[in-house]
Structure 1
Amino acid sequence: MTRTEKERFWSHVVKGPEADDCWFWTGAISDDGYGRFSVRRDGRPQAVRPQRYAYELVTGVPLPSSTLLLHSCDIPICVHADADVAVSHVGPGTHRENMLDRVQRGRYRNRQGLRLGDLPRQIRVQRSLDLRTVIIEHGWRPELISAALLGVELTHPRLF
């Protein structure tokens, strides 16, 4: 039996138990730390961002290619989309809004090229991969998710 595109998509999403929890993408992850989902459009394969696919699927609102999706949770593999902006972890925005959000959250480089609150790309990618591995291997385990997001080894001793 062949799964539909939607079934295939949702098979790669793990939702947290609480309504405001992230929904983590466990499928392919690109070299920028964000997810990647393969679809067929006009008979040809095309890679799309899972958060974009989720947003359009859940809200029924097609997004023009010029519209970005901004993460309120700052987790690149979160695909928690909802028509209610108070619930959704991703929301449409412009490039300008994305840059302002980045500055407000301290994720940018200054003129000297120093990162201010931003993670180097390879670390961001590794954290996304580590988080995906935790979710796939252990399911929804808040302490393991937290460790992966912080970049802490799972075997690292804890004080509490």
Structure 2
Amino acid sequence: MTGVLEERFWAKVVKGPRPDDCWIWTGAVADDGYGRFSYTEAGRHKSLRPNRLAYALVHGRELAGIDDPLAGLGEVMHHCDVPICVHAAVAPDESHLHEGTNRENMIDRAQKGRATNGSALRWRGLPRADFAARSRALRDEVRAHGWGRPGRIAALMGGADPDAPTLF
């Protein structure tokens, strides 16, 4: 991947003000609620998940050819479970992303109550369109205001409607 593509990629990431905040992908969001980063190489269109690409770039993983640009990279799993988070810090205790196997990903999914589309987490148990709408609402908030409205970001990350009236 060229420096220009890396610059284009990182230009679509907004890092939270604190070291433990998510880094929000502000580019395209697919209908599954996860981000998409597209580019053309050797005349062919390619689309990658931004969390995987962020992890590979931060950890200096070799990007292979167009057919499998992240060959050799295992599953990239979220600690935070925010689908558009790309926080791939080098220090494992700071990163929201970590590499694992498919088995580890399935165990993580079950332990977090996400198996069979479980509803134990704020982003799960939703119809696909609603899941994508939540990701897009978070992305749009960060695009428009950065991290300048932390209450709205917290509500969106928590699965709440930031415009809903409060009781008090």
Q: Note whether the superposition's TM-score is higher than 0.5.
A: yes
Q: Secondary structure at the match of 1:76?
A: coil
1:116/1:133 Cα in 2 relative to 1: closer, same or farther (>3 Å)? closer
2:146 matched residue in structure 1: 139
How many correspondences in the alignment?
154
Give the structure-2-normalised TM-score: 0.83
What letter corresponds to residue 148 of structure 1 in structure 2?
Answer: L
Instruction: For 2:140 and 2:131, locate their aligned partners in 1 and report how far apart those are by CA, in whole Å.
Output: 14
Instruction: For 1:84 and 1:61, locate their aligned partners in 2 and report how far apart those are by CA, in whole Å.
Output: 15
Instruction: For 2:140 and 2:24, locate their aligned partners in 1 and report how far apart those are by CA, in whole Å.
Output: 11
1:79 matched residue in structure 2: 86
1:148 to 151, 156, 164: 156
- Return structure 1 stretches of 4+ with deviation > 6 angstroms: none
- The 8 Å contact of residues 72 and 90 in structure 1, kept in 2 or not, is answered as yes
1:66/1:82 Cα in 2 relative to 1: closer, same or farther (>3 Å)? closer
Instruction: For 2:73 and 2:18, locate their aligned partners in 1 and report how far apart those are by CA, in whole Å.
Output: 32
Give the structure-1-normalised TM-score: 0.87
Q: Which moved more, 1:22-31 or 1:129-138?
A: 129-138
> What is the root-mean-square deviation in Å for CA atoms of aligned residues?
1.9
Instruction: For 1:30 and 1:36, locate their aligned partners in 2 and report how far apart those are by CA, in whole Å.
Output: 6
Instruction: For 2:34 and 2:75, locate their aligned partners in 1 and report how far apart those are by CA, in whole Å.
Output: 13
1:128 matched residue in structure 2: 135
User: Identity percentage over the alignment?
Assistant: 48
Q: Do residues 17 (structure 1) and 17 (structure 2) align? A: yes
Shift, 1:116, TM fit: 4.5
Shift, 1:41, TM fit: 3.0
1:107 matched residue in structure 2: 114
Shift, 1:18, TM fit: 0.8
In structure 2, runs of 5+ residues without a counterpart are 63-69
Instruction: For 1:86 and 1:104, locate their aligned partners in 2 and report how far apart those are by CA, in whole Å.
Output: 20
1:93 matched residue in structure 2: 100
Q: Secondary structure at the match of 2:110?
A: helix
Q: Do residues 5 (structure 1) and 9 (structure 2) align? A: no
- The 8 Å contact of residues 33 and 76 in structure 1, kept in 2 or not, is answered as yes
